[in-house]
């Protein structure tokens, strides 16, 4: 059964048009900053309520990841030609690696050097995972789908 595409909203088109004027790494950093603000806010609220920092960070990372996925999909990366579910699965695979690194750095710091300032450990973890995240999402999660008819044979390339 074919899906009927949903017409994009004018505000989303406007946002995409303005965002496309910026270099992709800058867009990624802007989205990442929104994710980091989400992460820090949720984390701070949860530890303020008495949640252990290690547990609070799991929750804040999940929420921040949902925010960044939607924003990256909307403004950072071009459409991939993939179904949204497939794209989400690819995003999760990259995110598990990047956020795993992020969380490992955070956890090692929050129980040692940053025990009295856990938000500092959140920032350090975010920096540690950012490069992995950008590279993985650019080359895998949001890589354009290539169909077999688009793949050129080596002899065709040699003729050019």
Could you state, in order of their start, the residue ranges of all structural domains in the chain? 22-145
pLDDT of 3 over the 90 cut: no
In Å, how far are 43, 48, 51, 54, 95 from 103, measured between CA atoms? 13, 19, 16, 9, 11
**Lowest-pLDDT range of 12-16, 18-22, 116-120:** 12-16
Q: How far apart are CA 22 and CA 27, in angstroms?
A: 6
pLDDT at residue number 137: 83
pLDDT in tens, 39-85: 999 999 999 999 999 999 999 999 998 898 888 888 888 778 888 88
Across 26-30, 105-109, 137-141, least confident range? 137-141
Lowest mean pLDDT among 40-49, 89-98, 112-121, 141-150: 141-150
| Mean of all residue pLDDT scores within the chain | 84
Contact (CB, 8 A) for 103 and 61: yes
The confidence score (pLDDT) of residue 147 equals 61
Give the residue from 97, 101, 108 showing the smallest Cα distance to 126.
101
Q: Is residue 54 within 8 Å of 110, Cβ to Cβ?
A: yes
- All residues at 6 or more sequence positions from 38 whose CB lies less than 8 Å from its CB, including other chains: 60, 63, 64, 67
**58: buried, middle or exposed (CB in 10 Å: 19+, 13-18, 0-12)?**
middle
Mean per-residue pLDDT, 106-122: 94
- Return the exposure string of 5-14: e unless at least 16 CB atoms fall within 10 Å of the residue's CB, then b: eeeeeeeeee
Alpha carbon distances (Å) from 146 to 82, 112, 135: 10, 47, 19
**pLDDT of 4 strictly over 60:** no
Q: Which residue has the tokens 């950008």?
A: 134
Is the pLDDT at 105 greater than 90? The verdict is yes
**What tens digit of pLDDT does each residue of 120-148 get?**
999 999 999 988 888 888 888 878 777 65
Q: Is 111 helix (H, G, I), strand (E, B) or coil?
A: coil
């Amino acid at each position: 059964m074919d899906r009927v595409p949903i017409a994009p909203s004018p505000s989303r088109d406007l946002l995409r048009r303005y965002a496309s004027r910026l270099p992709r790494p800058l867009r990624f950093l802007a989205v990442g900053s929104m994710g980091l603000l989400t992460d820090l806010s949720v984390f701070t609220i949860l530890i303020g309520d008495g949640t252990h920092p290690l547990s609070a960070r799991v929750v804040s990372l999940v929420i921040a990841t949902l925010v960044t996925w939607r924003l990256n999909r909307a403004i950072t990366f071009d459409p991939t030609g993939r179904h949204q579910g497939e794209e989400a699965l690819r995003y999760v695979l990259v995110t598990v690696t990047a956020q795993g690194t992020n969380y490992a750095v955070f956890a090692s710091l929050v129980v040692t050097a940053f025990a009295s300032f856990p938000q500092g450990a959140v920032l350090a973890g975010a920096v540690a995972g950012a490069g992995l995240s950008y590279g993985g999402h650019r080359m895998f999660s949001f890589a354009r789908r290539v169909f077999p008819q688009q793949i050129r044979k080596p002899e065709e390339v040699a003729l050019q």
